[in-house]
Amino acid sequence: MKTYKCMATCAAGIEALVGKEIRNLGIDCQVENGRALFTGTMADIAKLSLWLRTADRIKIILAEFEARTFEDLFDQVYDIAWEDILPLDANFPVSGKSIKSKLFSVSDCQALTKKAIVERLKKFYHRYGRLPESGAKFPIEVAIRKDKVMITLDTTGDSFFKRGYRTEKGGAPLKETLAASLVMLTNWRADMPLVDLTCGSGTILIEAAMMALNIAPGLKRTFLCETWPFVDQNIWGQARKEAYQAQKLDQQLDILGTDIDHKMIEIAKANAQKAGVADYITFKQMRLQDFTTTKENGVIICNPPYGERLSDKAQVEQLYKEMGQVFAPLTTWSKYILTSDLQFEEFYGSKATKKRKLYNGALRTDYFQYWAQRNNR
Ligand code: SAH
């Protein structure tokens, strides 16, 4: 089967997790800023699309070259064997970006790339008029950085974070990809208790349950490259079948989600139901301040409000203080808190064992980690 040079793109800061996921799926890769590079067949792309929990999308890298003039760009785009990928009726929007390059006009680069592809296809398909562009979609990007051009083709469509289980999300939901990353960055394993005391729409816990049950995150949705004529449908059928068979649903999990807002608990329950993990998570309305437990060796993950608006600041500081008080006696538990509040540790009342910079969308946050004292697992 033909192989393609590809990249799995992701948010800054979680490249290593994406790299680890790809390797765990049996594919070698190289991690760079914001992406992991690998070579794979359409079957590999199908498998990764179904299974990757932390990446945003997979793009095929069609060509890389240097270009300082429009002629350079046109000729080298024209040289790509577009007819191997694009059918006569392909709908191929071209997007672009340019950083620190001679060819700085993005709209001109886009238009020229489009023109080169159109010319090549017209010649191949013996067409003289306009191409119909009425068929499957092939989103192409021309990305130029320091005069180095990369021409890519998106295979994913809607970003991987759109798993298809979250229809309602409340005010400040985490992307599913970030929620999965938060779980992966903890020491949690399926035989340990897991708690989220500000669970909102339940994203972190739903992702955790799906991981523990080995449910592929992409099983409930489709991907753009499935609609491409040259992609063998059996590949996708096979990848989905394998993913269904890989599920390990006969497990007991000890997962609890609570939130002060009863509406969020209803939403979390509905989302867990859609994701197929409702039987494995207990959701209930409760204030974080009221949490106690006699269990040991558990993990707490929280994505509390950040107090970005001035009016909320005092309330959030009080919540962090209470969090410190509630968590302090739980010495065998590891606690992980994501917030953009740089003073978090002061309010919480102790220094984190470790902090990790992460981006929640465009917002810079820190993942404050308090490791268990007697966690010898
Ligand atoms: N990770 C969640 C979003 C959490 S937003 C998701 O993906 O949907 C923060 C949540 O903290 C909100 O749902 C809010 O209701 C809750 N919250 C605020 N103060 C709280 C408190 N004192 N106790 C429990 N939950 C609280």
Per-residue pLDDT tens digits for 279-307:
999 999 999 999 999 999 999 999 999 98
Q: Is the pLDDT of residue 195 over 70?
A: yes
pLDDT at 85 over 80: yes
Nearest atom (ligand 1) to Cα of 322: 22
pLDDT at 327: 98
106 pLDDT more than 70: yes
Categorize the per-residue pLDDT at 170 as very low, low, confident or very high, splitting at 50, 70 and 90: confident
Mean pLDDT across the chain, nearest whole number? 96
| CA-170 nearest atom, ligand 1 | 8
Give the mutation target among 197, 199, 203 for probing the ligand 1 site: most ligand atoms within 8 A of CB.
Answer: 199
The Å distance, Cα 172 to ligand 1 centre, comes to 8
Partners of 151 in beta bridges: 63, 142
pLDDT of residue 227: 94
Query: How far is Cα 364 from Cα 176, in angstroms, rounded to an integer?
Result: 17
pLDDT in tens, 116-160: 999 999 999 999 999 999 999 999 999 999 999 999 999 999 999
Residues 366 and 356: beta-carbon distance below 8 Å: yes
Q: What is the mean pLDDT of residues 322-333?
A: 97
CA pair distance 287, 119, nearest whole angstrom = 63
User: Among 260, 267, 306, 309, which residue has the most ligand 1 atoms within 8 Å of its CB, making it the best to mutate?
Assistant: 260
Give yes or no for residue 308 having a pLDDT over 90. no
Ligand 1 centroid to 318 CA: how many Å? 14
The atom number, within ligand 1, closest to the CA of 304 reads: 9
pTM of the full predicted structure?
Answer: 0.96
**One-letter amino acid of 137:** K
**pLDDT-derived band at 374, boundaries 50, 70, 90:** low
d(CA 368, ligand 1 centre) in Å: 17
pLDDT at 375: 46
pLDDT at 23 over 60: yes
Confidence label for 167 from pLDDT (cuts 50, 70 and 90): confident
Over range 77-98, report the average pLDDT: 97
Which residues surround ligand 1 with Cβ inside 6 Å? 169-170, 172-174, 197-198, 200-201, 203-204, 259-261, 264, 287-288, 303-305, 319
pLDDT at 311: 65
Q: Which helix (H) or strand (E) holds 366?
A: strand 363-370
Determine which residue's CA is closest to atom 11 belonging to ligand 1.
198
Mean local confidence (pLDDT), 180-200: 98
Atom of ligand 1 minimally distant from the CA of 201: 8
Q: How does 192-214 read in b/e, with b if 16+ C-beta sit within 10 Å?
A: bbbbbbbbbbbbbbbbbbbbbbe
User: How many C-beta atoms surround the C-beta of residue 16 within 10 A?
Assistant: 13
Q: Given the CA of residue 264, which atom of ligand 1 is nearest to it?
A: 13
